[in-house]
Every structure is written in structure tokens, then in C-alpha cells.
Amino acid sequence: SDHSLVYPSSPDSIDWSIHYPAFGNQRPSFADIGCGFGGLLITLAPQFPDTLIVGLEIRVQVTQYVQDRITALRATSDNYQNVSVIRANAMKFLPNFFQKASLTALFFLFPDPHFKIRKHKARIISPTLLAEYAYVLAPGGIVYTITDVEDLAQWMRAHLDAHPLFQFVEEQELRNEGKGPILDAVYSSTEEGKKVERNAGQKWLACFRRIEVKRIN
């Protein structure tokens, strides 16, 4: 249950310097939704030392684990100043955390599948939530999704394809833009991704660009 969660009243009310003391009040631009044990955060942080990266995770103990992991890494390395984690239900009030058009990457890696039809509204990709993701993403920003559940892959693909502000982008196109290291991390840096590899499972990747809509006056 998330009844004990407290939400910021607006993005301006968040003091990010508590999360990233080395960066003043710079705001995060990569967000990992349902970051689990933090494998993506920890892998990307040293590769993008000037980018602030945040994980959102709903489970208390898992969030604490990631926090402890970051604290330990910071103590023994000059890196990892740019990575942090927040306990939050990412399906609620995301625009209270992130300013409009402030994110350049949003990650949904191996999200919970919620198999039953009546639970589909619990999925982290839905028409309502896509409007929020589009709001917090900067035009040109990328949504990265990956799953080992074929039905969920189709669900995410279909909903993102149907949304006017998102456009499917081929993996190779992103690699040509220099996003190969991000894609490699998306495939295999997380605990869930590694588990799928151990079980020789299949992975479905689908990435989408937040497009800019030209206004017609």
C-alpha cells in the first residue's frame, strides 16, 4: 500500500540538492520508473557524469537498498554523485516531481505485467499515464521500454503507437545517434534483465521519441 507516501506539491518544492549535493539545484533528466534494485542507475551514472539520474521505486525496502548502494558507492568513488532514488508511486502525480519537458529519457524496464485483464489498468503504460509521460519529457526525449512478457510488449507498443506525441524509433537509429551505451544498459544492466538472461528468456525492446507538435494558428 502507498497510503503513507507524501507527494511534493510541485516540482519547485523539491530540493534536489539533497539528492545531488555536488550539483546545486540542477534537476534530473533521466528517470527510471520502477527502478527495482537500481542496476540501470548504477550502470548509467558513471557513463553520464553530467546528467542527473533518478530512480522511482514504490517498495520501501527496495528503495532503501538502492539508497544504501548509492551511499556506499559515493563513499569509495568520485562517481555516483549524479544518481539518486525516491520512494514514490510513479503512477501518481508524476508532474509534481518533474517540470514540464524536463526529462530526456524515461525508462520502463521489465515492468510488472499484471496479467489479468481486470488488472490492466494497473499497468504502468496506459493512455492516461502516457499523457503525463509526454508532459514531463522534452521534445526529442526517449521512452525506453523492455519486457520479457510478449503480451505486455504488445500492450506497451500498441498504446505508445496510438499516442499522437510518441513516435516509434528503431533501435539502430538510436545507436546511430550515440545511444548505444544506454540501449546496452536497458537490455542487460538491471536485476530483472539479468534474470531473464539466466533463464534464456526473450526480450522485447521498444523505444519511442517524444515528438514536437507544430501548432497551426
Q: Which is nearer to ligand SAM, 132 or 211 (CB)?
A: 132
Q: In angstroms, rounded to a whole number, what is the distance separating the alpha carbons of residues 33 and 37?
A: 12
- The number of angstroms, rounded, from the C-alpha of 116 to the middle of its chain's C-alpha atoms is 24
Give the total residue count for the chain.
217
Indicate whether 137 belongs to the interface with ligand SAM (CB under 6 A).
no
**Least distance (Å) from ligand SAM to the CB of residue 161?**
22
Query: Contacting ligand SAM (CB under 6 A), which of 109, 149, 182, 186?
Result: 109
168 SS3 class = strand
- DSSP-assigned beta bridge partners for residue 32: 55, 107
* Residue 177: Cβ within 10 Å count: 11
Query: Contacting ligand SAM (CB under 6 A), which of 30, 31, 193, 208?
Result: 193
User: Could you give the angle at the alpha carbon of 84 between the alpha carbons of 145 and 147, nearest 5°?
Assistant: 15
**Least distance (Å) from ligand SAM to the CB of residue 211?**
25
Mark whether 112 is an active-site residue: yes
Indicate whether 59 belongs to the interface with ligand SAM (CB under 6 A).
yes
Task: State yes or no: 158 annotated in a binding site.
Answer: no
Tell me which amino acid residue 34 is: G
Q: Which residues bind ligand SAM (CB under 6 A)?
A: 34-36, 39, 56-59, 62, 89-91, 109-112, 190-193
Catalytic positions, written as ranges? 112
